[in-house]
Amino acid sequence: MSNSKRRFTGLLIAAMAAAGMQHSAPLMAQVTSAINADTVLSDPDAVGSQIAVTEVADPHQVTSLVMDSEVAPVGFDSCLLPNRASACDQAGDGCSCLAGCDEIGGCDACGCASATAKPAATKAGCADSHKGVFYANDFSYLKDPCNQSECFGDCLKLMPVAGGKLGTLDVGGQLRLRYHHEAGMGRQAGRSGFQDTKNDFLLSRLRVYNNWKINNDVRVYAEGIFADATANSAYIPRPIDRNSADILNLFVDLQLTDNASVRIGRQELLFGSQRVVSPLDWANTRRTFEGVRGTIQVGDWTIDPFFTNLVPVTAFDFDEADYDQSFYGVYASGKGFGGHNTDLYYLGYDNDIQGAPVTTNFELHTFGGRVNGKLANGPLMFDVEGAYQTGKQQGLGLDHRAGFFTAGLGYQFKDVAWKPTLWTYYDYASGNDAGGSFNRYNQLFPLAHKYLGFIDAAARSNISSPNALLTMSPSKKMKLLAWYYYLGADEKGDVIPGVAVPSNQNLVDDDFGNELDLVASYTIGPRSDILFGYSHLWRGDKIIGTNDADFFYSQYTLNF
């Protein structure tokens, strides 16, 4: 790490933490309390567990730019202060009040001074607070005087600034550790995927953010990241493994009217299913952009026009926007087609880098849509998404004509133990037929790891893949996933690009292989979980290699 970036690392983390320094002692007390009494991190009634690779933020929460900045009535001067309702509830029945409670609004705010029934509590509030992008986090449950959630880090949320005259401040973040054992997945000098390679390494990541809601019209958000990899000497780190210290988000939100707002600055983008646009959370470094994004609310529809430039990750230097890579478009989400969740989008991607054809020097325009939901409000579910892609491959001197299509049908077995849900999918993305225009679909900026195999050997390009997904929940805290893929080429005369695992391929076969992914996750507490995963890819005739690919990993995540 360069000296300037090392100094910046300390300043970045210190500046973000300084805002909550006055609360740091109670926070440490809360950590101690959590370890000793297990009351903060393991409330059995406040469990919110998701397998990490399947997590998708609510697009309406993601596009909500400025939340109500009214100062929380609850006092958070100490992380150890119980919420008002529990402090005032003398008998523990939700309706008995100690003397003086009315002065702080405890029992009357819950309506228990005269009620005979116990009020509903929001015990799951803190378990659901953190979203796929942290600028969409929701701590509004802390304003509820009957709130029963008490989670690690809550004392640093909704903190009044200048006594509330300048709004509220949230300070928080995430610590994530993930161990990889990879066999036959390359990343060694002179070795490609599906050759005799073995690598063991630990990925560590720290994210810290400040969310300052000055008022209902103005918000300032900043988020920094430190990502590192500790590995065996032969391992060549992937570009998404390391970022010694940098800025993921740094923007200002302005509410222009009741139904329109604008965001200016560096920002992560997450839309819909993440098949086309994602912050790529699986990566140790995440993905971000720099530019302008608007949000317009029209009835049940949220419309997001944006113009940005990609911010490539440079491990030991400051990340800067690449003005030769512009990403722009309009993404709309709402209710349509029979009241089902519907997305419609246009996405433009201009790459003006004068480098290798296909991977650089092109202009693409993608028109797509997605519809998903339940059929007749029954146990049958569906998910359909597709896009047509046009443009120009300047480096090849060819027009670009391509597309992708995904169709899935699911069934939820509600009256069966472990509540299994079974999905069958078919994923298609066009390949190049070497005649006329260029036809290989460009997958843009997706959460590629989530789809087409967790080994990341196949991108959503030149692919034809029937696959089946089974999820189960043996308990409230445990979730299981099994996903099986057949991976084939749409055009045998074209390669299937890899996501993170390169491979040598022939141009006479279309059988890329078969992959099985297994994941088990366990919720330790409302904001902490651990997961274990194993994947195996049986190589097909198209792959030139000597070994199949094996991937084992374990991951611990703590949000605060």
Query: Which residue ranges make up each domain of the chain?
Result: 123-559
Q: Which two tokens stand for residue 533?
A: 């995963």
pLDDT of res. 15: 53
pLDDT of res. 434: 85
The DSSP-derived string for 501-555 is: S--EE-SS--EEEEEEEEEEEEEEETTEEEEEEEEEEEE-TTEE-S--EEEEEEE
pTM, rounded to two decimals: 0.84
Of 148 and 215, the structure prediction assigns the larger pLDDT to: 215
The pLDDT > 90 percentage for the chain reads 74
The pLDDT > 70 percentage for the chain reads 78
Of 20-34, 414-428, 459-473, the range with the lowest mean pLDDT is 20-34
CA distance 406 to 429: 9
Give the pLDDT band (50/70/90) at residue 42: very low
pLDDT of res. 217: 98
pLDDT of res. 58: 41
Q: Which two tokens stand for residue 51?
A: 């397998």
CA distance 25 to 189: 48
Q: Is the pLDDT of residue 283 over 90?
A: yes
Q: Is the pLDDT of residue 109 over 50?
A: no
pLDDT of res. 62: 38
List the one residue out of 183, 151, 157, 189 whose CA is nearest residue 171: 157
Residues ≥6 apart with Cβ < 8 Å to 10: none
Across the range 346-357, mean pLDDT stands at: 96
List the one residue out of 159, 172, 161 whose CA is nearest residue 76: 159
Q: Is the pLDDT of residue 129 over 50?
A: yes
Give the pLDDT band (50/70/90) at residue 119: very low
List the one residue out of 477, 555, 548, 552 whose CA is nearest residue 518: 552
pLDDT of res. 34: 38
Across the chain, what does the average pLDDT equal?
85
Range from 113-122, 343-352, 432-441 that averages highest in pLDDT: 343-352
Across the range 39-52, mean pLDDT stands at: 33
CATH topology of domain 123-559: Porin (2.40.160)
pLDDT of res. 125: 81
pLDDT of res. 372: 97
Q: Are strands 543-544 and 325-336 parallel, antiparallel or unpaired?
A: unpaired
Q: Is the pLDDT of residue 219 over 70?
A: yes
pLDDT of res. 322: 98
CA distance 125 to 48: 9
CA distance 369 to 364: 17
Q: Is the pLDDT of residue 510 over 80?
A: yes
Give the pLDDT band (50/70/90) at residue 2: low
Give the pLDDT band (50/70/90) at residue 124: low
pLDDT in tens, 178-188: 999 999 999 99
Across the range 552-559, mean pLDDT stands at: 98
Residue 177: in which H helix or E strand, if any?
strand 168-183
Give the pLDDT band (50/70/90) at residue 12: low
Give the pLDDT band (50/70/90) at residue 16: low
The DSSP-derived string for 95-137 is: S-B-TTHHHHTHHHHHTTTT-SSPPP--TTTGGG---SSGGG-
Termini Cα distance of the chain = 27
pLDDT in tens, 243-273: 999 999 999 999 999 999 999 999 999 999 9
